[in-house]
A and B are shown apart, each in its own frame.
Chain A
Amino acid sequence: EAQVTQNPRYLITVTGKKLTVTCSQNMNHEYMSWYRQDPGLGLRQIYYSMNVEVTDKGDVPEGYKVSRKEKRNFPLILESPSPNQTSLYFCASTPGYTDTQYFGPGTRLTVL
């Protein structure tokens, strides 16, 4: 089944404790993105990747890092999480950057 998976689905952590949210897709898509969803703000793009080892900042990259060492995986790293990063995070992949986005199930992160 074609899908985007994310782990963990729920995470509660404390300020400053490094964490990684994994994202994997099995559709051989070149493009992958991370978004955060906040009430009233819709989805805002954090980072995106056009291919292996090629990444670029989205609209809200501060406090986040990404890597793309393999085509299927695109982890999101929070080196020192802060409470304002409490949000719902979605990973997505797409065959072409202007094409349909396929979203993962989301990761609800709470930073205390």
Chain B
Amino acid sequence: AQSVSQHNHHVILSEAASLELGCNYSYGGTVNLFWYVQYPGQHLQLLLKYFSGDPLVKGIKGFEAEFIKSKFSFNLRKPSVQWSDTAEYFCAVTTYSSASKIIFGSGTRLSIRP
């Protein structure tokens, strides 16, 4: 069955530290990849997405993600985090199969120490 794994459940960093959140998916066909962010008390909003082309995707607020097809990964990165990045981050995948659907990972809670 198709799945999305986010192995980091809770990450705690200090301000200005570098961030990398892992996302791996299991599906052999064509995929679209997303990172969504949920700030405390708010709804999910799109951070960035990959459909095709350059595998290094830049999103809002200085985030970027790299699609590595051979590793089935789409890790999220930010060189220097801020306290305002405290949020929950969800990786998601949509597939171009006969049963097209969107699959979310279980989320990674990011806490930034000021």
Question: Are A and B genuine complex partners?
Answer: yes
* Interface set of A (CB-CB < 8 Å, partner B): 33, 35, 40-45, 48, 58, 90, 92, 97-101, 103-106
A43-B90 CB under 8 A given contacts A58-B101, A100-B34, A105-B43: yes
A residues less than 8 Å from B34 (CB atoms): 100-101
In the assembled complex, the Cα of A103 lies from the Cα of B100 at a distance in Å of: 19
Contact of B101 among A45, A104, A106 (CB under 8 A): A45
Cβ B43 vs Cβ A42 within 8 A: no
A residues less than 8 Å from B100 (CB atoms): 97-98
In the assembled complex, the Cα of A97 lies from the Cα of B102 at a distance in Å of: 8
| B6 to A: closest C-beta gap in Å | 8
Chain B: CB-nearest residue to A98: B94
* Interface set of B (CB-CB < 8 Å, partner A): 6, 9, 32, 34, 36, 42-46, 49, 90, 92, 94-96, 100-102, 104-107
| A88 to B: closest C-beta gap in Å | 10
Chain B: CB-nearest residue to A40: B106
In the assembled complex, the Cα of A99 lies from the Cα of B92 at a distance in Å of: 11
A residues less than 8 Å from B9 (CB atoms): 40
In the assembled complex, the Cα of A31 lies from the Cα of B95 at a distance in Å of: 15
Cβ A42 vs Cβ B104 within 8 A: yes
Cβ A98 vs Cβ B104 within 8 A: no
Chain A: CB-nearest residue to B45: A103
Contact of B105 among A42, A92, A105 (CB under 8 A): A42
B residues less than 8 Å from A48 (CB atoms): 101
| A69 to B: closest C-beta gap in Å | 23
10 contacts between A and B (CB under 8 A): A41-B106, A44-B104, A45-B101, A58-B101, A97-B102, A98-B95, A98-B100, A101-B44, A103-B36, A105-B43
